[in-house]
Amino acid sequence: WSHLYIYQHRHDVNGIVHTHSRYATAFAAVGKPIPCVLTAIADEFGGPIPCGGFALIGDEAIGKVVLESIGHSPAVLLKNHGVFTIGKDAVSAVKAAVMTEEVAATVWMAMQIGKPDEIPAEQIESLHQRYTGVYGQ
């Protein structure tokens, strides 16, 4: 139901991936977004990877929380659940899912050393525009 709800309400989405990948789901378990502390996060996601609220499995509730929380990001964490990624096609959604787990692991490791510095918003925007408009073409 959640995938159908997303497809019905986001006509730009033609691919959805749902995972319970280890590191990203750890952030979801504590209801925390993945902060934008790496250029890879700024490039691919355009800011922190948000964490939406809790939703019960079995109907459209998860799809609604995904769409309420995802914003312009291709990825969102669902509190106490896991990861949803979207894309213009299945390949884009899979890429976002893989990248979500990779950056979640790196951020988690960095947090074991200390508090990573978040990239300033104006730099995030610049990096994301360069990546999506020039580099990522």
Domain ranges in the chain are 2-132
Which element (helix H / strand E) includes 16? strand 15-19
Q: Token pair for residue 134?
A: 């020039």
pLDDT digits (tens, 9 = 90+) for 20-39: 999 999 999 999 999 999 99
pLDDT digits (tens, 9 = 90+) for 66-109: 999 999 999 999 999 999 999 999 999 999 999 999 999 999 99
Q: Give pTM, 2 decimals.
A: 0.94
What is the second-level CATH architecture of the domain 2-132? Answer: 3-Layer(aba) Sandwich (3.40)
| Size of the chain in residues | 137
